[in-house]
Amino acid sequence: MFSIIAQRLRQKKRTISFPAAAPTLPDRFRGLPELDPGICATCAVSCPPPCILACPAKAMFEENGAMRLDMGRCTFCGSCENACPHGAVRFTQGYSLSARHRDDLILGPGLLPRMEALDTRMRKLFGRSLKLRQVSAGGCNACEADANVLTTVVFDLSRFGIDFVASPRHADGLYITGPVPENMREGLMLTLEALPLPRIIIAVGACAISGGLFADLDTSAKGALPHLEPDLFIPGCPPHPVTALDGMLRLLGRI
């Protein structure tokens, strides 16, 4: 017993102070992408720009003579940044990436993701107690693993009143990961039907938002959006736990 207490004292406090203080992120962290407006406008007329050719998820595209990056498809692999000969694409340490609407994940020069909280009624219901049923709809286990990381002492999701529960009957919302292939569609919809109203739907990761790298496969349903109307989109492959935590707290009006 005494050795356990001594070890606990040596470890000190492990829970991060976010959101009271900015999180400490590793140097290799790839966060909010930035596109240089001047260079990208010139490069967009080439056919096609090297960043578009390099993107494995088809997240980079040209629209009306301007470059766009769809964070809903982006895997944050950095291929576009490496391929750009002008350094016009770069990934910053910005961790606040979530959005309420799918179109708000499409970035361009001067365009940033937009996030807004739930309405007053929903915040009163779920602002201090939100129970989520996590559904792995064909995921690779990366987003699922980081959902588990949110419950560890480092991030301590429960200190905000947010918890994962085993039964949809006990849940206030769905936390969906994976591209929702045909074999998981029925299971997802049955889980949704088991949730009481009102409920919150959260699409987590590129696969759940758009199908990600699997969006063009016949067996993929291109994520949750064709079947559901998510209240929150958390991009990434997988999203960093701080990004997921930031999105949920902003949804609840806690940030």
Per-residue pLDDT, 248: 95
Per-residue pLDDT, 87: 82
Residues of the chain with pLDDT under 50: none
> Is 104 contained in some domain?
no
> Is 129 contained in some domain?
yes
> Is 141 contained in some domain?
yes
Structure tokens at 236: 């990434």
**Which domain covers residue 235, as residue numbers?**
120-251
> Is 171 contained in some domain?
yes
> Is 215 contained in some domain?
yes
- CATH (domain of 242): 3.40.50.12280
> Is 111 contained in some domain?
no
Per-residue pLDDT, 6: 74
- pLDDT tens, position by position, 96-106: 999 999 999 99
> Is 75 contained in some domain?
no
Per-residue pLDDT, 46: 61
Per-residue pLDDT, 41: 61
> Is 148 contained in some domain?
yes
Structure tokens at 23: 């999180």
Residue for token digits 């993107």?
Answer: 55
As a whole number of angstroms, the distance between CA 234 and CA 202 comes to 8
Per-residue pLDDT, 42: 66
| Structural domains of the chain, count | 1
